[in-house]
Amino acid sequence: MSKNKELLWQSRFSLPFDRDALLFSSSVHVDRKLYREDIRGSIAHVTMLAEENIVSREEALQIITGLGEIEVELSEGTLVPQWEDEDIHTVIENRLKEKIGPVAGKLHSGRSRNDQVATDTRLYMRSQISDLEEALGGIMKVLLDKAETYRETIIFGYTHLQRAQPISAGHYYLAYFNMFNRDRQRLRDLKKRVNVSPLGAAAFAGSTLPLNPARTAELLGFESLFPNSIDAVSDRDIIIEFISACATVMMHLSRFAEDVILWSSYEFGYLEISDAFATGSSLMPQKKNADIAELVRGKTGRVYGNLMTILTIMKGLPLSYNRDMQEDKPPLFDSAETTVQSVNIFARMLENTALKEDRLARLTAEDLSLATEIAEYLVRKQIPFRDAHRITGKIVTWSISNGVTLPKIPLGQFREFSDVIDNDIYDCLKPEASVNSKKSHGSCSFASVAVQLEEAGKVL
């Protein structure tokens, strides 16, 4: 059995840490992802230590040079983090000691792994938030293009997954545009709370050394500084907030995925996904499946699970730092990566879809979804809406039982239901007339969609 490497805290103990216990507690396989953030934080810390004369300029230079080399070794794979080192912070510190000797130990002056890992996590989140913001900007751009392309294409709008009223397809795409825009606003707002430096809180109570936390905050590009050292090391609510924002993005994507899956099915037949973004079956040669949309829908479950994981980890933890909090990283990393990847691939798939305009034109022209037009026509002829609704209901029943679509019902027949109906009824029984008769704010008419498109363009 190989001997343990020295752990940062070993000196107080008379027995070496049990290997199984160490294997169980090691987080290197997860937190190795933070090596760049860790080195960046360390360089800022030691720069401040030198400025405050806590270490000498020469020592700081040695440490910074060593850390720079370690970053290269880690990125090139010549330094492979070993689980025996407990966590990535220890991997880097042990390697620094190998390179420059005992002076490496000065890097930890006035710093604990508690404020160190909180700093690394915030730096990681800051960059992931930017990546997700960019990904959302990307899908919003695709949606804007789709809305522009199909602004005068008429599709069915649904409620309860029943055909409800005809709408401009542009209106539909802009609905998703607005959802992703709010997701992006949520992230921008969250960034203010993430961009706060916890470095200088030390283990949780602060330090006897004359640290300058404002300086490290500045060096790391944080907007502000922790107000309370206990909170700085023990709070993870920004992770909860971030995963919650990711879960909301995934929820939006998952609803969209559901539309894509349904609309590309034979039964709906509204949407064609390019072969480059569809999959087949190993058994049934005719199959064309929307696997990308299905996977996004499936991964949504993972991100929801991550939110429950982090909420549950934090529930009931006494102040301040507890080792439980090491378990924050798998859900954080997984949520960030899954969400960015899902948004990016969904946007590319969406780019590679086309509405089947001929079929949609045929279906919408004959559909019962024009019934609301009849009711509103009657209202314009001074019939109270409740009566108009009842009369139209009877017309719909007649249409179904006689197999005659609404626009094909003869005027004489219409007049059996209400004598206020005239020839002009046929003008409103066209999907385009229906769509464009909508006059209210933010509605589905071509004119309203044009206004919305202009506003959306400004947002981007």
Give catalytic residues, as residue numbers: 160, 281
Q: Interface with ligand ARG by CB under 6 A: which range of 149-157, 278-286, 322-330, 421-429?
A: 322-330
Nearer to ligand ARG, 263 or 321 (CB): 321
What single letter denotes the amino acid at residue 283? L
Nearer to ligand ARG, 124 or 417 (CB): 124
Kindly state the smallest distance separating residue 209's Cβ from ligand ARG, in Å: 19
State which H helix or E strand residue 354 sits in.
strand 353-355
Q: Does 27 bind ligand ARG (CB under 6 A)?
A: yes
Kindly state the smallest distance separating residue 33's Cβ from ligand ARG, in Å: 12
Kindly state the smallest distance separating residue 307's Cβ from ligand ARG, in Å: 19
Q: Does 321 bind ligand ARG (CB under 6 A)?
A: yes
Quote the CA–CA distance of 239 and 244 in Å, as a whole number: 8
DSSP state of 6: P
CB 300 within 8 A of CB 343: no
DSSP state of 2: P
Q: Binding string, 103-122, against ligand ARG, x = CB under 6 A? A: ----------xx--x-----
Nearer to ligand ARG, 59 or 85 (CB): 85
Nearer to ligand ARG, 157 or 331 (CB): 331
CB 184 within 8 A of CB 130: no
Nearer to ligand ARG, 31 or 59 (CB): 31
- Token pair listed for 360: 């949609």
Kindly state the smallest distance separating residue 326's Cβ from ligand ARG, in Å: 4
- For ligand ARG, which residue of 195, 254, 264, 326 counts as binding (CB under 6 A)? 326
Nearer to ligand ARG, 184 or 329 (CB): 329
**SS3 category, 279:** strand
Rg of the chain, C-alpha, whole Å: 31
Backbone angles phi, psi at 254, to 5 degrees: -70, -35
- For ligand ARG, which residue of 325, 349, 395, 449 counts as binding (CB under 6 A)? 325
Quote the CA–CA distance of 413 and 409 in Å, as a whole number: 7
CB 235 within 8 A of CB 226: no
- Token pair listed for 324: 């439980």
Kindly state the smallest distance separating residue 258's Cβ from ligand ARG, in Å: 37
Kindly state the smallest distance separating residue 87's Cβ from ligand ARG, in Å: 4
Q: Interface with ligand ARG by CB under 6 A: which range of 40-48, 171-179, 318-326, 414-422?
A: 318-326
Integer CA distances (angstroms), 254 to 184, 309, 336, 407, in order: 17, 20, 16, 36
Footprint of ligand ARG on 85-104 (CB under 6 A): 87
Q: Interface with ligand ARG by CB under 6 A: which range of 164-172, 235-243, 319-327, 445-453?
A: 319-327
How many Cβ atoms from other residues are within 10 Å of residue 340's Cβ? Answer: 20
Quote the CA–CA distance of 374 and 385 in Å, as a whole number: 11
Nearer to ligand ARG, 31 or 37 (CB): 31
Which alpha helices (DSSP H) does 226-282 contain, by range?
A: 229-234, 237-263
Integer CA distances (angstroms), 408 to 164, 260, 340, 397, 436, in order: 20, 32, 50, 14, 21
- Token pair listed for 109: 């002056």
Kindly state the smallest distance separating residue 328's Cβ from ligand ARG, in Å: 7
Nearer to ligand ARG, 323 or 439 (CB): 323
Size of residue set near ligand ARG by CB under 6 A: 10
- For ligand ARG, which residue of 3, 12, 315, 323 counts as binding (CB under 6 A)? 323
Kindly state the smallest distance separating residue 21's Cβ from ligand ARG, in Å: 13
Q: Please report, to the nearest 10 degrees, the dihedral formed by the alpha carbons of residues 144, 147, 151, 155 taken in order.
A: -170
Q: Does 229 bind ligand ARG (CB under 6 A)?
A: no
CA 413 to chain centre: 54
Binding positions for ligand ARG, rule: CB under 6 A? 27, 31, 87, 113-114, 117, 321, 323, 325-326
